[in-house]
Amino acid sequence: MTPVLEIDGLSGSYGSIVAVDDVSMRVAPGARHAVIGPNGAGKSTLFGLVTGALDAGSGRVLLDGRDISDLPEYARVRAGVTKTFQQPSLFLSLPVLDNVALAVQRAAGVGLRMLRPGHRYRNVHRTAVDHLAAAGLFERRRDPAGTLSHGERRQLDLAVALATNPRVLLLDEPTAGMSAAATAHFIELVVALAPRVTTVIVEHDLDLVFGVATHVTVLHQGAVLADGPPHLVRGSATVQQAYLGDGVVESLFY
Amino acid sequence: MQWLTDNFITILDGVAFGLLLFTIAIGLSLILGVLDVLNLAHGALYLAGAYLAVQFFTGRVSIWVFLLALVMASVLGAGAGAGLAFMMRPLAGRGHLDQALLSLGVALVLADLISAVFGNDVHTVSPPGFLSGSPQLAGFTYPVYRLAVILVGLVLALVVYLVVERTRLGALARATVIDAPMVRAMGVDTRPFVAGIFAFGTVLACVGGVLGAPILGAYPGLDQYVLILGLVVVVVGGVDTVRGTLVGALVIGQVEVLGVSLLPRYASFLVFATMVVGLLLRPGNRMRVAAS
Amino acid sequence: MTATISPARTSAHAAVRGGWAGRLRRVLPVATVLAVAVAPFGVTPPVSSALTRMCAFAVLVVGLDLLTGVAGLPSLGQAAPFGAGAYAAAIVATRLSPVAPLQLVAGAAAGGLLAAVIGWLAVRLRGINFLMITLALAELVHALANQWSSLTGGSNGLVGLPFIRIAPAGPPLVATGYVLWYVLAVSAACVAVVVVVSRSAFGRTLRGIRDNEGRMRALGYATFWPKYLVFCIAGVLAGVGGSLWVAQAQFVSPGSLNFEVSALALMAVVIGGRGTLYGPVLGAALVVLVRYELSPYLAGRGMLLLGGVFILVVYLLPKGLAGGRARRSA
Q: Rounded CA gap, B180 and B32, in Å?
A: 13
CB contact under 8 A, B292 and A55: no
Question: For the purposes of burial, counting CB atoms within 10 Å of the CB of B190, is it exposed (0-12), middle (13-18) or buried (19 or more)?
Answer: middle
Inter-chain CB pairs, B–C, below 8 Å: 103
Contact A74 C211 (CB under 8 A): no
- The Cα of B23 is separated from the nearest Cα of chain A by a number of Å equal to 33
Q: Outline where DSSP puts E strands in chain A.
A: 5-14, 17-27, 32-36, 58-63, 66-67, 81-83, 168-172, 198-202, 215-220, 223-228
- Among residues 36-75 of chain A, which lie with CB inside 8 Å of chain B? 48, 53-55, 73
Q: pLDDT per residue over C265-292, tens digit each?
A: 999 999 999 999 999 999 999 999 999 8
Average pLDDT over residues B176-188: 75
C254 touches chain B (CB under 8 A): no
CA A37 – CA A236 distance, rounded (Å):
13
The partner residue sitting opposite C318, judged by closest CB among B94, B108, B287, is B94
The residue among C308, C260, C262 whose CA lies nearest residue C74 is C262
Residues of A in contact with C330 (CB under 8 A): 98, 101, 117-119
Three-class SS state of A215: strand
The H-or-E segment that residue C317 falls in is: none
Average pLDDT (C142-159) is 84
pTM for the model: 0.90
Q: Which chains neighbour C (Cβ–Cβ under 8 Å, 3 or more pairs)?
A: A, B
Angle, alpha carbons B207-B211-B215 (nearest 5°): 145
**CA–CA dist C98, C167 (Å, integer):** 9
| Predicted local distance difference test score (pLDDT) of residue B137 | 66
Question: What are the tens digits of pLDDT across the range C96-148?
Answer: 888 889 999 999 999 999 999 999 989 998 888 899 889 989 998 998 888 88
Question: Distance (Å) from the C-alpha of residue B271 to the closest C-alpha of chain C?
Answer: 9
pLDDT value, residue A246: 56
- The residue among A22, A99, A37 whose CA lies nearest residue C216 is A99
Q: What is the pLDDT of residue C184?
A: 94
What pLDDT was estimated at residue A244? 66
Could you tell me which of A211, A157, A218, A158 has the C-alpha nearest to residue A187? A211
Q: How many CB atoms lie within 10 A of CB B273?
A: 14
Mean pLDDT throughout B128-147? 75
**Closest CA–CA distance from residue C196 to any residue of chain B (Å):** 27
Percent of chain A with pLDDT over 70: 95
Question: Can you give the pLDDT at residue A99?
Answer: 94
Tell me which chains share at least 3 CB pairs under 8 Å with chain A.
B, C
Q: Tell me how far apart the 2 most distant CA atoms of chain C are, in Å.
A: 69
Burial class of residue B182, CB neighbours in 10 A (0-12, 13-18, 19+):
exposed
ipTM score: 0.88
Q: Which of A199, A197, A195 is nearest to A175 (CA)?
A: A199
Residue A202, pLDDT > 60, answer: yes
pLDDT tens profile A43-78: 888 999 999 988 888 899 999 989 999 999 999 999
Q: What percent of chain A has pLDDT over 90?
A: 35
For residue B189, pLDDT over 90 is answered with no
> Residue A245 — very low, low, confident or very high, per pLDDT cuts 50/70/90?
low
With an 8 Å Cβ cutoff, are A160 and C219 in contact? yes
State the pLDDT at residue C16.
47
A93 shares contact with chain C (CB less than 8 Å): yes
Higher pLDDT pick, A133 / B60: A133
Contacts of A22 (CB under 8 A, 6+ apart): A9, A10, A11, A58, A59, A223
* C-beta of residue C51 within 8 angstroms of C-beta of residue C253: no
pLDDT band at residue A252, thresholds of 50, 70 and 90?
low
Per cent of chain B over pLDDT 70 is 93
Test C203 with A119 for CB contact under 8 angstroms. Answer: no
Cβ neighbours of B292 in A, within 8 Å: 53
pLDDT tens across B46-75, in order?
Answer: 999 999 998 888 777 778 888 888 899 999
Q: Which pLDDT tens digit goes with each residue over C226-241?
A: 999 999 999 999 999 9
Burial A3-17 (b: 16+ CB within 10 A, else e): bbbbbbebbbbeeee
End-to-end CA gap in chain C: 23
A-chain residue closest to C13, CA distance = A142
Q: Give a three-class secondary structure readout of A57-81.
A: CEEEEEECCEECCCCCHHHHHHHCE
Is C205 within 8 Å of A111 when comparing Cβ atoms?
yes
Name the 3-class secondary structure at B136: strand
CB contact, 8 Å: C117 with chain B? no
Q: What pLDDT score was predicted for residue B138?
A: 67
Looking at CA atoms only, how far is residue B95 from chain A in angstroms? 15
Q: What is the pLDDT of residue C10?
A: 41
Which residues of A are less than 8 Å from B291 in CB distance?
Answer: 48, 53-55, 73
Cα separation, B16 vs B256, whole angstroms: 12
pLDDT score of C7: 43
Residues of B with CB under 8 A from a CB of C: 32, 36, 38, 90-91, 94, 96-98, 100-102, 104-106, 108-109, 111-113, 116, 224, 228, 231-232, 234-235, 265-266, 268-269, 272, 275-276, 279, 286-287, 289, 292
Q: How confident is the model over C310-324, as a mean pLDDT? A: 84
Q: Are C133 and C68 in contact (CB under 8 A)?
A: no
Q: Is the pLDDT of residue A225 over 80?
A: yes
CA distance B85 to chain C (A): 14
**Contact call for A102 and C2, based on CB within 8 A:** no
Q: Report pLDDT for C236.
A: 97
Rounded to a whole number, what is the distance in Å from the CA of B183 to chain A's nearest CA?
20
- Which secondary structure element, helix H or strand E, spans residue B140, and what is its range? strand B140-141
Mean pLDDT on A147-174: 90
Question: How far is residue A7 from each of residues A3, A49, A165, measured CA to CA in Å?
Answer: 10, 10, 21
- Give the model's confidence band at B45: pLDDT under 50 very low, under 70 low, under 90 confident, else very high: very high
How far is C-alpha C281 from the chain's CA centre?
A: 8
Distance CA C147, CA C151 (A): 9
Closest alpha carbon to C283 in C315, C249, C317, C250: C317
Q: Indicate the SS3 state at residue A101.
A: helix
What pLDDT, on a 0 to 100 scale, did the predictor assign at position B290?
Answer: 31
pLDDT score at A250: 53
Mean of per-residue pLDDT scores for chain A: 86
Q: Which chain C residues are Cβ-neighbours of A110 within 8 angstroms?
A: 201
pLDDT digits (tens, 9 = 90+) for B243-280: 889 999 999 999 988 888 888 777 777 888 888 887 77
Interface test with C, best of A94, A129, A130 (most C CBs within 10 A): A94
Average the pLDDT over each of B185-189, B202-206, C183-187 and give the range with the smallest value: B185-189
User: What is the overall mean pLDDT for chain C?
Assistant: 87
B292 touches A at CB < 8 Å: yes
Which residue type sits at C24?
A: L
More confident residue, A234 or A92: A92
Cis peptide upstream of residue C74 (ω within 30 degrees of 0): no
**Exposure string over C253-271, b if 16+ CB within 10 A, otherwise e:** bbbbbbbbbbbbbbbbbbb
**pLDDT score for A253:** 57
Q: Tell me the per-residue pLDDT of C29-41, one tens digit each, with 9 for 90 and over.
A: 888 888 888 888 8
> Per-residue pLDDT for C43 more than 50?
yes
For B204-251, the DSSP string reads HHHHHHHHHHHHH-B-TTHHHHHHHHHHHHHHHH-SS-HHHHHHHHHH
Condensed to tens digits (0 to 9), the pLDDT of residues B74-93 reads 999 999 999 999 998 888 87
Chain A nearest C-alpha distance from C193 (Å): 9
Which helix (H) or strand (E) covers residue B170, if one does? helix B168-185
Between CA B224 and CA C136 the distance in angstroms is 11
More confident residue, B185 or B198: B198
Q: Provide the percentage of residues in chain C whose pLDDT is more than 90.
A: 58
Q: Give me the pLDDT at residue B283, please.
A: 52
